[in-house]
């Protein structure tokens, strides 16, 4: 047993990669349909959007680049479906230069599915350089921050922005953030100063950082990682990429827990039997 | 399906497999994928930044709309580039001083308010809730409040080095370590979750591209990468 344990502890790590690969691929090919429980922080964002009046303006900040796409793309799609279903007007922006093309394509694609018209039901303002200064600028005067939208139309000519002069006039802001600038930028330089309600979506890596903000009510909800996106899809009753990935996520987590437990067991076991042999 | 999508799928699949080949060992395919990634990312960000900032935020308002005052930030920006010219590098300090001054002025009060004052306020919530008619009760949220308070205080004690950690202080600091361990564990768990999400997304697309609609891109390229690795390994073994 001691030798077996030692051999297993010295196992070539490529076998572990192979096990994880199978643990990921198999549930994607043959879904298990494991249940997904909706957490209160995700439900809060859903409920808040439900309560917004039709025609209300939602600013969706796509603060991510292609590296954050696996987690934040399903989130953005689910939020856009929800907002368009409720006839909200969407104003898209991004604080990340490399996110511009991705954000525009997500927004226009979902809008097209709902038959929404650009300039009336939604618009994409594009990349706002300056991080914190960009948010402050939008809070003071939207037309100064973005004289024209991403497509070159003057924003004073856009029907969607009639009556919206700054962030003070919008109903809700959601930042889908992969890092800085992101949720904290919108909170620190936006919500605190201009008083709009703020929700957040982020990658799982950065989720623990935002729980203190959630706890104090500085943000009113948080969608964390692919899991959060899947919960939102459950609330919408619309199966997307996030729900499809949840079985694989659960399986890989289970495998990692098993591997961790085995490694710890064998590690303690070899240390103890080694000591006994020495005595 | 249009040709662009098909080419995109084959390129994406090939590059993903090149990068995953690192799991076997460092090899020329991985290096090729890595270098393409770095080059394309940098080129893309440069292009986007040029178009979105230099053209849209500077050239168009300055030249086409006559907003001449934009010359001032443009000049400050140009001063930063003098770092590359040693005789006049000192000029960049003007721009740096401006950036530092404005950033500090904007950030310090806002950060203090958001991340210190409001967080302190959130930590010291009342334990009891007063109801109608002066009734007072302890809500289930009290447990959370208590846990939060004990966690914050014990971790702060752990990082308080002016007093020797012995006796009661040692016990409280030890409790702080446990709270820190739990938070590190939670952060690690979330990190694992994030990394697995990236893997799932890639595998999801590789499975999609393995379909006949994409010309079995994944299967063909997987075979090619494996064959390439075998060929490379044989080349390595030759004297």
Instruction: Locate the domains of chain A by residue range.
Output: 2-30+248-278, 40-239
Burial of A80 per CB tally in 10 Å (0-12, 13-18, 19+)? buried
Measured between alpha carbons, how far is residue B89 from residues B71, B74, B85, B93 in Å? 20, 17, 6, 8
Q: Which of A26, A5, A71 shows the shortest CA–CA distance to A250?
A: A26
- How many Cβ atoms are within 10 Å of A50's Cβ, its own excluded? 12
Rounded distance, CA B138 to CA B129, Å? Answer: 6
pLDDT score at A10: 85
Low-confidence ranges of chain B (pLDDT < 70): 129-137, 239
Q: How far is B114 from chain A (nearest CA, A)?
A: 6
Chain B: residue whose CA lies nearest to A229: B197
Strand order in the sheet with A89-94: A122-127, A89-94, A57-63, A172-177, A198-202, A222-224
* Cα separation of the two ends of chain A: 18
- The interface residues of chain A toward chain B in range 238-267, judged by CB-CB distance below 8 A, are 241, 244-245, 248-249, 252-253, 256
Query: Any idea how long chain A is?
Result: 279
What sign has the CA pseudo-torsion B98, B104, B107, B113? negative
Residues B182 and B158: their CA atoms lie apart, in Å, by 15
| Interface mutation target, options A135, A186, A202, A205, chain B, most CBs of B under 10 Å | A205
Fold (CATH) for A40-239: Rossmann fold (3.40.50)
Here the tokens at position A181 are 């600038």
A200 touches chain B (CB under 8 A): no
Q: CB distance from B147 to chain A under 8 Å?
A: no
The pLDDT score that the predictor gives to residue B236 is 81
* Least CB–CB distance from A225: residue in B49, B194, B203: B194
pLDDT computed for residue B221 by the predictor? 97
Which sign does the torsion angle of CA A200, A206, A208, A209 carry? Answer: negative
Q: Which two tokens stand for residue B178?
A: 């446990």
Residue B134 neighbours by CB under 8 Å, 6+ apart: none
Distance from C-alpha of B65 to C-alpha of A125, rounded to nearest angstrom? 19
Q: Can you give the pLDDT at residue B133?
A: 66
Residue B161's pLDDT is: 86
Q: Using 50 as the pLDDT threshold, list the residues of chain A that sit under it.
A: none
Separation in Å, CA A59 to CA A68, A176, A230: 19, 11, 22
Pairing of strands B129-130, B136-137: antiparallel
Q: Which tokens go with B205? A: 């697309």
Q: How many CA atoms lie within 13 A of B204 on its CB side?
A: 20
Residue B227, helix vs strand vs coil: helix
Q: Tokens standing for B64? A: 């086409």
pLDDT at site A64: 94
Please state whether the peptide bond connecting residue A181 to the residue before it is cis, i.e. omega within 30 degrees of 0: yes
List of chain B residues whose C-beta atoms are within 8 Å of the C-beta of residue A24: 196, 199-200, 203
Q: Of A178, A185, A181, which is closest to residue A139 (Cα–Cα)?
A: A185
What's the CA gap between B210 and B207, in Å, rounded?
A: 5
């Amino acid at each position: 047993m001691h030798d077996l344990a030692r051999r297993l502890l010295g196992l070539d790590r490529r076998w572990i990669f192979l096990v994880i690969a199978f643990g990921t691929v198999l549930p994607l090919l043959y879904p298990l349909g494991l249940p997904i429980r909706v957490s209160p922080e995700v439900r809060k964002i859903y409920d808040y959007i439900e309560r917004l009046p039709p025609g209300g303006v939602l600013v969706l900040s796509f603060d991510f680049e292609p590296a954050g796409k696996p987690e934040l793309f399903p989130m953005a799609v689910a939020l856009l479906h929800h907002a368009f279903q409720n006839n909200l007007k969407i104003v898209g922006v991004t604080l990340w230069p490399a996110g511009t093309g991705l954000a525009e394509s997500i927004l226009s694609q979902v809008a097209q599915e709902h038959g929404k018209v650009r300039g009336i039901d939604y618009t994409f303002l594009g990349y706002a350089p300056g991080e914190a200064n960009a948010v402050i600028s939008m809070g003071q005067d939207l037309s100064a921050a973005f004289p024209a939208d991403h497509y070159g139309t003057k924003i004073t000519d856009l029907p969607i922005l009639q009556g919206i002069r700054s962030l003070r006039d919008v109903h809700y802001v959601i930042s889908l953030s992969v890092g800085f600038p992101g949720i904290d930028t919108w909170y620190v330089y936006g919500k605190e100063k201009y008083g709009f309600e703020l929700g957040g979506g982020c990658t799982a890596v950065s989720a623990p950082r935002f729980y203190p903000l959630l706890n104090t009510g500085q943000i009113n909800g948080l969608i964390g990682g692919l899991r959060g996106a899947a919960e939102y899809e459950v609330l919408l009753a619309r199966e997307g990429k996030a729900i499809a990935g949840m079985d694989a996520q659960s399986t890989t987590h289970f495998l990692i827990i098993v591997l961790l437990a085995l490694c710890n067991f064998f590690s303690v076991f070899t240390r103890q039997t080694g000591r006994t042999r020495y005595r | 399906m249009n040709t662009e999508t098909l080419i995109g799928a084959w390129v994406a699949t090939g590059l993903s497999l090149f990068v995953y080949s690192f799991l076997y060992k460092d090899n020329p395919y991985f290096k090729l994928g890595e270098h393409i990634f770095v080059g394309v990312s940098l080129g893309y960000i440069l292009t986007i930044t040029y178009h979105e900032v230099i053209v849209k935020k500077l050239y168009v308002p300055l030249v086409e709309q006559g907003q001449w005052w934009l010359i001032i930030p443009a000049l400050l920006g140009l001063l930063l580039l003098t770092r590359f010219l040693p005789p006049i590098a000192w000029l960049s300090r003007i721009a740096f001083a401006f950036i530092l001054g404005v950033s500090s002025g904007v950030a310090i009060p806002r950060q203090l308010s958001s991340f210190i004052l409001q967080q302190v306020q959130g930590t010291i919530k009342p334990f009891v809730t007063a109801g109608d008619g002066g009734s007072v009760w302890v809500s289930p949220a009290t447990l959370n409040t208590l846990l939060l308070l004990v966690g914050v205080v014990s971790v702060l004690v752990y990082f308080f080095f002016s007093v020797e950690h012995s006796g009661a202080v040692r016990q409280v600091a030890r409790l702080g370590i446990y709270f820190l361990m739990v938070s590190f564990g939670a952060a690690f768990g979330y990190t694992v979750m994030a990394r697995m999400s990236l893997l799932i997304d890639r595998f999801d697309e590789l499975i999609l591209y393995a379909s006949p609609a994409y010309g079995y891109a994944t299967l063909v390229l997987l075979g090619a990468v494996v064959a390439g690795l075998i060929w490379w390994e044989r080349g390595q073994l030759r004297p």
